[in-house]
Structure 1
Amino acid sequence: MSFSLIEMPPDDPRWNKRGAVYVPSGQGPTVWAAGDVYTIKATGAQTNGGFGFIEATVPAGGGPPAHAHPEEEETFYILDGELEFLDGDHTFTAVAGDFIHIPRGVRHRFLNRGNHAAKMIFMFTPPRLEQIIADHALPVRPGEAPPPLDDDQIERFDLMARKARTIMLPESS
Structure 2
Amino acid sequence: MSSEISPVHVPSDGGEAVHLVGDTYTTLLRSEQTNGEFSMLEAIVPANAGPPPHAHHNESETFVLLEGRLVINAGDQEYEAGPGDVVYIPKGVRHSFRNLSQDEPARMYFMYTPAGVEGLFTEIGTPGERGAVGPPLNDADVAAMAAAADKYGYSLG
TM-score range, shorter-chain basis?
A: 0.7 to 0.9
Bigger-Rg structure (1/2) = 1
- 1:113 corresponds to which residue? 100
TM-superposed CA distance for 1:88, in Å, is 0.7
Q: Is the 8 A contact 1:133 1:160 kept in 2?
A: no
The structure-2 alpha-carbon separation of the partners of 1:61 and 1:162, relative to structure 1 and needing over 3 Å to count, comes to farther
Residues 12-43 of structure 1: CA distance to partner in whole angstroms, max 9, x if unpaired?
xxxxx992111111111100111101110010
Q: Say if 2:84 is the partner of 1:123.
A: no
Q: Indicate which of 19, 25, 34 corresponds to 1:47.
A: 34
TM-score normalized with structure 1 length: 0.80
Q: Is the 8 A contact 2:99 2:106 kept in 1?
A: yes
User: 2 CA distance for matches of 1:97 and 1:144?
Assistant: 21
TM-superposed CA distance for 1:139, in Å, is 1.1
TM-score normalized with structure 2 length: 0.88
Q: Indicate which of 11, 15, 20 corresponds to 1:28.
A: 15
1:155-166 pair list within 5 angstroms = 155-166=143-154
Q: Indicate which of 85, 95, 99 corresponds to 2:86.
A: 99
- Stretch moving more, 150-159 or 79-88: 150-159
Q: Say if 2:128 is the partner of 1:140.
A: yes
Q: Which runs of 5+ in 1 are unaligned?
A: 1-16
Q: Is the 8 A contact 2:19 2:125 kept in 1?
A: yes
User: 1 CA distance for matches of 2:56 and 2:67?
Assistant: 25
Q: Is the 8 A contact 2:28 2:41 kept in 1?
A: yes
Residues 116-170 of structure 1: CA distance to partner in whole angstroms, max 9, x if unpaired?
111100011111111221222111168974223334323322233332221212x
Q: More relative contact order in 1 or in 2 (CA 8 Å, sep 6+)?
A: 2
TM-superposed CA distance for 1:81, in Å, is 0.6
Residue 128 of structure 1 aligns to which amino acid in structure 2?
G
Residues 86-129 of structure 1: CA distance to partner in whole angstroms, max 9, x if unpaired?
02122120100001110011111111121211110001111111
Aligned length: 153
- 2:142 corresponds to which residue? 154
The structure-2 alpha-carbon separation of the partners of 1:90 and 1:134, relative to structure 1 and needing over 3 Å to count, comes to same
**SS of residue matched to 1:45:** helix
1:69-80 pair list within 5 angstroms = 69-80=56-67
The structure-2 alpha-carbon separation of the partners of 1:144 and 1:80, relative to structure 1 and needing over 3 Å to count, comes to closer
- C-alpha RMSD over aligned residues: 2.1
User: 2 CA distance for matches of 1:155 and 1:79?
Assistant: 29
The structure-2 alpha-carbon separation of the partners of 1:161 and 1:127, relative to structure 1 and needing over 3 Å to count, comes to same
Task: Determine which structure has the larger strand proportion and give its number.
Answer: 2
